[in-house]
Structure 1
């Protein structure tokens, strides 16, 4: 994936074609970078397994293998100048997209197996256990949003065109979009919650690592229970944000043009985050002989 990312960056130098309103090599670049982050994080999480290590190894191998199949099809379609996603224009294109749908489902199930094993493993540090498990669950939810994109749009039902499914809601794919991400600026875009949800896999554990780093200067964060509670607050807030972004996209609303309802919900989430964090920091610190030092909070055990 790392090599493919480099190739995708160099691709436009020799191939300036545009497909569905975006440089044709943008899709393999974004997918390869995303797979690098996803698989490296999953590999790091597998270190924490204390039970079912062999099953975890096989699940991780399945995730990596399905990712390779996915990228071979995406890159092959780029070379052909064809859409990889939602393409049913020819029997061959439809077969390729069906294979992609199958590999995504298998990848999701492989990640689910890892998540279940993480819940069954006895990770000694409560904050680390909570961060890893919450990140895995939210990552699965974010990946699941991708299945919403495979449904035909109302326009596609009225006028079949060989394209079945879309990431934009309320507007055709390929319209005005944000730089870098390519997310729609005129309608809803399911790629937003899909992206945010999947990368909870990295961001929730990174939140814990930030708390551990701050513990050097903030004594209150040296308490393992405090870190675990703050991770729970972060996970709840992240889940609320993911829900809000999905709701916003399904209403056909661009990320950068929220209406009053979206802003009101975002304000309530921010208030809940502030109140939850304050409540945790005001709880008394319970001292115990088995309290682990913050430096060990993200170290694998077993």
Structure 2
């Protein structure tokens, strides 16, 4: 994936073709960068598994995930070279077959990630904050990946056609390929499911990053040196992240652009912010957990 990142970056510079409103090499570049972060984080998480049996099962799940993601990227890159759309493409029997194979690899990838999440949920860790950062981030990432399955549903416009050239879409309420945010390409005129897909999947990096920041600050702030405080803060961060993921998914499904929220979306965002601030303050101020509560959270 790191090598493909360099190839795709070169393609952006040397190949001026545009497909569905975006530079044709933008998709393999974004996917390969995302897979680099995803693969490195999963490798670290698998290294935390405490038993030989769990590590063996995790190794096989990680290998299947790696093969599936590689096949996915090979097909995406092949379609770029051909100058054809990789996702949702039913223009020819060959394009349909490519998209169907991609769909199968995504299902395999998701199931492998699900198995890894189950292993992490069942594992016992010495540090409870690390345990719950790993567990909850993997579950949120699974939900983010599952948004991809929503994208393949035919739109009302496609259902009205006898033989549509495309089936499924990133955007909601507007056609794919319209005005979008710089670099990311997310629609600025309608809903875009890629936002929730991206945000959810990268919980795998961002929630553990909160843990790393707390650990780095612990020598300077005595309160953060208490592992029970760090645990409570990780639970708050995970809940806030999950709520924000649901908010952006809900916003997209209503056909609303990320940067054009209505009053209802703004109210929900304000509620999440207020609850997060309040819960963070309580996590820092509440008395230490009882031994029984600590044991339950560690289970």
Q: TM-score range by the shorter chain?
A: over 0.9
Tell me if 1:131 matches 2:133: yes
Instruction: Write the deviation string for residues 125-156 of structure 1: whole angstroms up to 9, x where unpaired.
Output: 00000000011000000000111000000111
CA contact (8 A) 1:123 1:129 kept: yes
1:33 and 1:12 map into 2 onto residues whose CA distance is 14
What residue in structure 2 maps to residue 243 of structure 1?
A: 246
User: How does the TM-score come out when normalised to structure 2?
Assistant: 0.95
1:106 and 1:150 map into 2 onto residues whose CA distance is 16
Unaligned runs of 5+ in 2: 295-299
Tell me if 1:258 matches 2:282: no
1:86 and 1:139 map into 2 onto residues whose CA distance is 23
2:106 and 2:16 map into 1 onto residues whose CA distance is 29
1:65 and 1:90 map into 2 onto residues whose CA distance is 26
1:119 and 1:253 map into 2 onto residues whose CA distance is 35
Q: Trace 1:110-259 onto structure 2 (pairs within 5 A).
A: 110-159=112-161, 160-259=163-262
Runs ≥4 residues deviating over 4 A: none
CA contact (8 A) 1:188 1:251 kept: yes
Tell me if 1:83 matches 2:88: no
- Describe the SS at the equivalent of 1:43: helix
Larger RCO, structure (CA 8 Å, separation 6 or more)? 1
1:133 and 1:85 map into 2 onto residues whose CA distance is 30
**Alignment root-mean-square deviation, CA:** 1.3
2:197 and 2:5 map into 1 onto residues whose CA distance is 20
What residue in structure 1 maps to residue 48 of structure 2?
A: 48
CA contact (8 A) 1:223 1:285 kept: no
Deviation at 1:286, TM superposition (A): 6.2
1:35 and 1:12 map into 2 onto residues whose CA distance is 19
1:98 and 1:233 map into 2 onto residues whose CA distance is 39
1:265 and 1:14 map into 2 onto residues whose CA distance is 44
What residue in structure 2 maps to residue 34 of structure 1?
A: 34
1:244 and 1:284 map into 2 onto residues whose CA distance is 32
User: How does the TM-score come out when normalised to structure 1?
Assistant: 0.94
2:155 and 2:223 map into 1 onto residues whose CA distance is 51
1:154 and 1:53 map into 2 onto residues whose CA distance is 46
2:154 and 2:243 map into 1 onto residues whose CA distance is 27
